[in-house]
Structure 1
Amino acid sequence: MNPLSDNTISGAHARTTLTDTNNRQHFVGEPLQDIPTPGNSAQKHQVVVIGGGPAGSVAATRLAQAGVDVLVLEREQFPRFHIGESLLPNGNRILKEIGVWEKVAAAGFIEKRGAQFTLADRSRTVRNVFAQGWVKGLDMTYQVERARFDEILLRHADSCGAQVWEQCPVTKVTRTTNGWQIEANHAGQAQLINADWVIDASGRHCVMGRAMKLAKSALPYPGRMAVFNHFEHMQRDEGEQAGDVIVLRLEHAWFWAIPISPTVTSVGVVLQKNGGRAKDESWEQLFWRKVKESPFLTQALAQATPLGDYRIESDYSFSHETFAAERCLLVGDAASFIDPVFSSGVYLALESGLLAADQIAAALKKSPSPQRETKLYAAYTHSLKTQIGTMRQLIDAYYDNSACEVFMSPRPTLSLPQAINSVLAGSLKPGFPVRWRLWLFKQICKLQKKRPLVPPIAWQAPDEPVTTTESSVRH
């Protein structure tokens, strides 16, 4: 579904700064360092992008196309595995703007023209056909193998003039008078880089967020985990619906099924950590125990073959309070990741990468000004948080059983389904016609709790609850 990264994020960190006599800020607990002007021992770039995933690649491409000297530091060697294989149609616009759309379209990915939301026995199924949404032009996109998709974007950044270093983890960052000094290890060699601006696209590693001790917002979500694998020859729909993502709701969990090649499907289950896994239960056993709660999935996976180890992601929901500070902008999962249910992760990565690049490119054309930079930080954070907030309205509704009953029983009244459809296609800055319909949808969901307006769902009772006794990490 949406891109999830490897490392777990800990609790919020409050950021405290002091100001010296030269009006430079440093972090409490760290020595104030007088960093000299870069000499022969350090490279100098206008912008350094930490991370070469979709957010970082889009940002680097956009900056390079604007004539900015940009360096990408990617800790891994591409191609590499990554979860989060489902795109949203509104992301096509960004891929076209940076000139990579034709490369993506030529890669042979599965076309995605809709999303199916269903129950364990498929007694209710809602198919959102993107072309029928309120916002026109969001007809289709792709289900992608992230290893290939991400490499296409990173190589495109390189071809557009961005310098790309792979196998280059960042080991230290230090605030300087005019930007940042970055220490990295490139293919075993220590490197020192000075940058006017930094874009943190490091995913949940949150390299810059941690370095600046940026506070994180408390999200009203329980700890959740996802267990997933790729399967060969899962039974799938035929025709136009063959490329749909299927989201299957249980009472206390949900599954995704994403076709990523003609024969391979990504399948995962998301559930709460508390009460999710027995002490001696393997990830594979947990996965199949939850599959058995759905007659549909049991049949669809009966002849399927898993293609690797069962993997785990956990505690992935978080958000920084601000997405920009100190000549650094956070993009993609480094800024925030809410939930994978509606596949918004890659879209928000693309959108934030483009927005961050445009903000920095504009700032580089003007003389440095703390006042302008402060306004830039606020504008960037506001724009991204507004879009995240739009998607959160539907995420919160889907996890609430009463609201989910409304979601799974669409009525044509006042074009509410078309408005929701557009949001699910990635239209996260909607105009008033969609906004008031979302507001009305929320009010109907609230009424459903008190007096059912649509038929309630007879949720299937789950297996006997068990207790998770260890912290979940990627397996």
Structure 2
Amino acid sequence: MTDGRFHAVVAGGGPAGAAAALALARGGRRVLLAEDRPRAAFRIGEALAPAALPLLRDLGVLDRVLAAGHLPRHGNLSSWGSAALHANDFIFDPNGHGLSLDRARFDASLRDGAEAAGVRVQSGARVASAARDGSGWRVVLRSADGAVEEAACDWLVDATGRSAAIARQHGAARMHSDGLVAFYARFTPDRPGDRDARTMIESTPDGWWYTALVPGGERVVAWLTDADLAERTAMLAPEGFVDRLLDSTHVAAALHAFDYTMTTRPRGADAGSARLDRFTGEGWIAVGDAALSFDPLSSQGMLTALYTGMRAGQALHAHLDGDASALGAYAARLEEISRAYDENRCVFYGYEARWADHPFWTRRAPAAAFAY
């Protein structure tokens, strides 16, 4: 048994979980953060919007993040609704440029910031089970080597990502809007000189591509389509991935310009839009992808992770101080975010009308967008 009782145990040490832990710790709460992923593990999700920088400042970790060697990201490039490539620059954004992240380094910076703020970070451990114990929880932590430890806490923060493991184990349901999946790989240039860290997206008849330059000089390249439209076996093979890449124009040209070659096997991941039917329950609160999962097209996943984590930590701190409205206000705010996201997603997919008779785009037409 860990020493003493925690105000909260945070299950998951990604950006949302670290932000929740930071907000609680900065309020003087005793927090344990359990993170079972290897510290150096590569993760997709490298685009950080300019609006995230004030959140990092509020959490007290902006300087730590900016010192970690991420690339400045000055805008986006898109071929969407036409064959031409258009630029959307951040020059007029009041928050300045965004960042193209080394996700392993970024996530580690947030956890290090949480630890510096007084959070107990339990690396290499996951929340294996949690049972109600009077007014709180008895939590079992399991390490990769099989070691087991128990902790007692008042609240659980579900930051387990798209699995929403804690919330679903305790009665919440996950509602899906589509079946979007991502197949992605990393590419390394044979010729130096690529410095364009803008994210590029390109629509095609059966989905869309994106590529982004990340610290270290690699490019992440991803193909987004619906699970039932994907040739999964082919897309997870290097040859099949490269064959599909030939369907693109601008993404393929960006790779060809610097003689990029694939250096990792393709991988697949859920990328669909989903949400919980409720964001809080008896003794638990959900954050990040566990609460709301966004289509990567929005480039809002990281921003939403930080925002919901911070807001959940603040709401839980206020609740523990006796504010009976704090958790309801948090849930209401996430409902607002969910509605705005659904509307914006529908509008943006509607801009692409060239392949309106293809299943991928038909499903995202305004009349069908919420009927998946």
TM-score (norm 2): 0.87
Name the amino acid aligned to 1:399.
Y
Aligned match for 1:84, one of 38, 45, 65: 45
Change (3 A) 1:249 1:79: same
Q: Is the contact made by 1:201 and 1:331 (CA closer than 8 Å) also made in structure 2? A: yes
1:164 is the counterpart of 2:121: yes
Residue in 1 aligned with 2:66? 105
Distance 2:7 2:250 in 1: 54
Q: Is the contact made by 1:227 and 1:283 (CA closer than 8 Å) also made in structure 2? A: no
1:73 is the counterpart of 2:69: no
1:365 is the counterpart of 2:321: yes
SS in 2 for 1:45: strand
SS in 2 for 1:49: strand
Aligned match for 2:163, one of 193, 200, 205: 205
Change (3 A) 1:235 1:93: farther
1:274 is the counterpart of 2:274: no
Aligned match for 1:228, one of 156, 162, 184: 184
Q: Deviations over 1:385-426 (max 9, x none)?
A: 3123323323223333xx335xxxxxxxxxxxxxxxxxxxxx
1:126 is the counterpart of 2:80: no
Name the amino acid aligned to 2:73.
K
Q: Is the contact made by 2:273 and 2:293 (CA closer than 8 Å) also made in structure 1? A: yes
User: What is the Cα deviation at residue 143 of structure 1?
Assistant: 0.4
User: What is the Cα deviation at residue 383 of structure 1?
Assistant: 0.7
Distance 1:153 1:42 in 2: 24
Name the amino acid aligned to 1:308.
T
User: What is the Cα deviation at residue 140 of structure 1?
Assistant: 1.0
Q: Deviations over 1:325-348 (max 9, x none)?
A: 112110001112131112111111
Aligned match for 1:396, one of 318, 340, 346: 346
Q: Is the contact made by 2:236 and 2:265 (CA closer than 8 Å) also made in structure 1? A: no
Distance 1:347 1:230 in 2: 23
Distance 2:249 2:255 in 1: 10
Distance 1:119 1:260 in 2: 23
User: What is the Cα deviation at residue 191 of structure 1?
Assistant: 1.4
Q: Is the contact made by 1:131 and 1:138 (CA closer than 8 Å) also made in structure 2? A: no
Name the amino acid aligned to 1:106.
A
Equivalences, count = 356
Alignment map for 1:38-437 (pairs within 5 Å): 43-119=4-80, 123-132=83-92, 137-186=94-143, 188-219=146-177, 221=178, 223-233=179-189, 242-261=196-215, 263-277=217-231, 282-302=236-256, 303-314=259-270, 316-366=272-322, 372=324, 375-400=325-350, 403-404=351-352
Alignment map for 1:435-446 (pairs within 5 Å): none
Change (3 A) 1:218 1:142: closer
Q: Is the contact made by 1:230 and 1:308 (CA closer than 8 Å) also made in structure 2? A: yes
Distance 1:77 1:171 in 2: 17
SS in 2 for 1:131: coil
Q: Is the contact made by 2:73 and 2:97 (CA closer than 8 Å) also made in structure 1? A: yes
Change (3 A) 1:388 1:353: same
Q: Deviations over 1:444-474 (max 9, x none)?
A: xxxxxxxxxxxxx489999xxxxxxxxxxxx
User: What is the Cα deviation at residue 86 of structure 1?
Assistant: 0.5
Distance 1:269 1:124 in 2: 19
Distance 1:460 1:298 in 2: 25
For structure 2, the 5+ residue unaligned runs are 360-372
Q: Is the contact made by 2:209 and 2:251 (CA closer than 8 Å) also made in structure 1? A: no
Distance 2:201 2:231 in 1: 21
Change (3 A) 1:41 1:389: closer
- Report the structure, 1 or 2, having the larger strand content: 2
Q: Is the contact made by 2:271 and 2:296 (CA closer than 8 Å) also made in structure 1? A: no
User: What is the Cα deviation at residue 174 of structure 1?
Assistant: 0.9
SS in 2 for 1:71: strand
Q: Is the contact made by 2:209 and 2:248 (CA closer than 8 Å) also made in structure 1? A: no
User: What is the Cα deviation at residue 115 of structure 1?
Assistant: 1.1
Distance 1:255 1:52 in 2: 28
Q: Deviations over 1:40-79 (max 9, x none)?
A: 7874111111111101111111211111111101122313
Q: Deviations over 1:308-327 (max 9, x none)?
A: 11111136432101111112
Q: Is the contact made by 1:325 and 1:377 (CA closer than 8 Å) also made in structure 2? A: no
For structure 1, the 5+ residue unaligned runs are 1-39, 406-456, 463-475
Single out whichever of 45-54 and 292-301 deviates more from structure 2: 292-301
Residue in 2 aligned with 1:466? none
Name the amino acid aligned to 1:63.
L
Q: Is the contact made by 2:280 and 2:286 (CA closer than 8 Å) also made in structure 1? A: yes
SS in 2 for 1:285: helix
Q: Deviations over 1:420-445 (max 9, x none)?
A: xxxxxxxxxxxxxxxxxxxxxxxxxx
Distance 1:51 1:260 in 2: 24
Q: Is the contact made by 2:71 and 2:101 (CA closer than 8 Å) also made in structure 1? A: yes
Q: Is the contact made by 2:23 and 2:310 (CA closer than 8 Å) also made in structure 1? A: yes
Change (3 A) 1:149 1:109: same
Please identify the structure whose Cα radius of gyration is greater: 1
Q: Is the contact made by 1:217 and 1:318 (CA closer than 8 Å) also made in structure 2? A: yes
Distance 2:121 2:216 in 1: 32
Name the amino acid aligned to 2:74.
R
